[in-house]
Amino acid sequence: MAEIVLAKQKIERGKTERLREWMEEITEREAEAVETLKSEGMHSETAFIEHTEESDFLIYYMKADSIEQVYESFEDSSHDIDQEHKQVLSDVLESGENVGDYELLYHLENPESS
């Protein structure tokens, strides 16, 4: 059974636009990004920006057979896009710390959808 994770990381003030630009570049380089998902064992990954009075936050939804394996593969990755991703996140996030605390209640998928 697949694992589902929702993660939340605080974006440094003034760095949201840089993060948005990078996420747009990932979208433009979709084929390259999908190859990294395949090599990591990731089924899907979605990123959001949450805007609050306190700060902006990067929110990730991830689905994989093993999230631990995904993290290990990402850390060991030699894909150019992964190296760039690590650099951008290092530049725009306050820390790599997950500041969210989410309890998965359920996850459903329509088996007839593509």
Residue 61 confidence (pLDDT): 97
In a domain, 76, yes or no: yes
Look at the block and give the residue holding tokens 């440094």: 12
| pLDDT < 70: residue spans in the chain | 114
Report the 10 Å Cβ neighbour count for 19. Answer: 20
How many folded domains does the chain comprise?
1
Alpha-carbon dihedral of residues 89, 56, 61, 34, nearest 10 degrees? -40
Residue 111 confidence (pLDDT): 87
- CATH number of the domain within which 19 lies: 3.30.70
In a domain, 111, yes or no: no
Owning domain of residue 26: 3-92
In a domain, 29, yes or no: yes
Report the 10 Å Cβ neighbour count for 71. Answer: 14
In a domain, 74, yes or no: yes
Strand, coil or helix: 85: helix
Residue 114 confidence (pLDDT): 64
In a domain, 30, yes or no: yes
